[in-house]
Amino acid sequence: MLRTLGVMIDCSRDAVYTVETLKEYIKVLAAMGYNALLLYMEDVYELEGEPYFGYLRGKYTKNELREIDEFAKNSGIELIPCIQTLAHLGGITRWNAYKDFTDTGDILLAEDERTYILIEKMFAACASSFTSRRINIGMDEAHMVGLGKYLDRHGYQDRYSILLKHLHRVLEIASRYGFRPMMWSDMFFRLAAKGEYYCNKTIPQEIINAVPEGVELIYWDYYSIEREHYKTMLAAHKQFRNRIVFAGGAWSWSGFAPANRFSMRANYEALHACAENDVQDVFVTSWKDDGAECSLFATLPAMLCFAEYARGNYDIGKISTKFKAITGIAFDDYLLADDVNLSDDTAARNPSKYMLYNDLFLGIFDCFVKETDAEKFTELKERLDMVAKNKRYGYIFRTLSALCGVLEIKYSLGNRTRQAYRAGDRAALEHMQEEYTVLIRRLKKFYRLFRAQWDKECKPNGFEKHDIRFGGLIFRTEHCRKQIEEYCRGKRKDINMLNEDILPFDQTLEKGQYINFNRWHNTAMIKPLQ
């Protein structure tokens, strides 16, 4: 019997969704049968006496959160705060106000009283803004805990002990405000297995005994399509005495397009495993890594499937009928959003992002280009235009159609430019100048539609990142076109970048294998991979 069926949305990766957007989202959740919405807020909520907390980030005021909470409660949805009490606090650790009690990177300094004063303010803010007394305290992916300022101050200490001492302090504060915490489970596993999370491992009994029973452990997993994998991980979690919560993924963090089909396949296996292991609390995450380009509503197919799978309904025909009734769009038509990434249900991949920002002359991703793939964007654009007629969600498909309009040219343009140049075919290069001109025009149209999508769903803060990205992309495209023009007119003797061979992006990948690569600063600026 399910206790919790929820959705977690990321409000911290540049996009802070407006109150009206969240109200619309809550209506959809209620129609799908969810009973919880978890707001992931690293520093995007108002904190008493902390002006740099959420500074310039579009943070929620207490009144906004209270308004959302009231609306959710009246819709049968429990609004649950998700905060961070150790790592993932890069939004504040950039400021000198927090420098002295930052361990390293985005991690707070454990065992420093200033850290716990700040954390107490976090709980006080949540207590005054949310009626729920369930809370996610985060504490995931603190890979370098104890290895920065903490190391300088205390010398090397057992990092499990650091984590557990910090957890006990956080739980003490939570209890004073009546909160029942849950936390991501990965750090317990990673510190026991040299950084690994998804592997079969035995947790030392002394660690199991040290973890307070009152905190719920969230097993998060968005990647596998093997049921045995989930069963193995659930068995590993059952070593603890703590209640287990499972978090799956509705893939919305790989760029402008979702990966509904892969999400559905992964969650199909995960929720079967949860049912077999009597896991009564499940939620699906909608992360927004690296800029929140994907619409909040783009993953509705994966969300409905998660809800139905969790309740034991695996009949895709019945799910499709319900989906059409809720959204007004046929299930298969909505899944066209996935196709912008040339996707199927076997892998989450995102060429629509890395090929959008792939440099036309440097071309670090050109090794993945198949000429026949470029043609797919032309056909897909026409099909997306049909779905774009929907009054409620059509704007999502208009944005993706414009992206296809860009990619039907840009996807293979770098390769074709290089081939013509190295063959000495100036006539072909002359003709390509017009393609570059059309590409620039389409990039500007895509930018306008993406900006309209953002304005419809999000607060203005965060879009400055996309102004910079699109501005750089458009100017770079214009510069490449200008170099071709100068070369064809004899004003430039060569285009040296096009003389260099394109090496494999990753020598460990098999030829033709697709990838998922989501970091703009690595893609556009050729930074070391992170």
Q: Is 499 exposed, middle or buried (0-12, 13-18, 19+ CB in 10 A)?
A: exposed
At 190 the pLDDT is 82
Structure tokens at 170: 């956080």
DSSP H helix total and E strand total for the chain: 19, 10
- pLDDT, one tens digit for every residue, the chain (530 residues): 899 999 999 999 999 999 999 999 999 999 999 999 999 999 999 999 999 999 999 999 999 999 999 999 999 999 999 999 999 999 999 999 999 999 999 999 999 999 999 999 999 999 999 999 999 999 999 889 999 999 999 999 988 899 999 999 999 999 999 999 999 999 888 877 777 898 777 788 888 888 899 999 999 999 999 999 999 999 999 999 999 999 999 999 999 999 999 999 999 999 999 999 999 999 999 999 999 999 999 999 999 999 999 999 999 999 999 999 999 999 999 999 999 999 888 889 999 999 999 999 999 999 989 888 899 999 999 999 999 999 999 999 999 999 999 999 999 999 999 999 999 999 999 999 999 999 999 999 999 999 999 999 999 999 999 999 999 999 999 999 999 999 999 999 999 999 999 888 887 776 556 789 999 998 887 766 55
- Rounded-to-10 torsion of CA 50, 52, 55, 59: -30
Buried b / exposed e along 364-382 (16+ C-beta atoms within 10 A): bbbebbeeeebebbeebbe
Distance CA 254, CA 292 (A): 9
At 528 the pLDDT is 61
β-pairing verdict for 180-184 and 216-220 = parallel
Instruction: For residue 136, give the H/E element and its range.
Output: strand 134-136
The CA distances from residue 46 to 20, 26, 67, 109, 188, in Å, are: 19, 22, 14, 22, 30
Structure tokens at 391: 């009054």
**Tokens 């650790």, residue located:** 93
First to last CA, the chain: 41
Structure tokens at 514: 């697709």
Residue type, 198: Y
Q: Which domains does the chain have, with CATH numbers?
A: 4-328 (3.20.20.80), 350-525 (1.20.120.670)
Helices 159-176 and 113-129: crossing angle, nearest 10°?
40
- The phi and psi torsions of 291 (rounded to 5 degrees) equal 120, -5
Of residues 144, 164, 524, 138, the one with CA closest to residue 357: 524
- Rounded-to-10 torsion of CA 313, 316, 321, 323: 80
Structure tokens at 287: 């992360």
Q: For residue 45, what is the DSSP state?
A: B
Structure tokens at 488: 């064809």
Q: Is 148 exposed, middle or buried (0-12, 13-18, 19+ CB in 10 A)?
A: middle
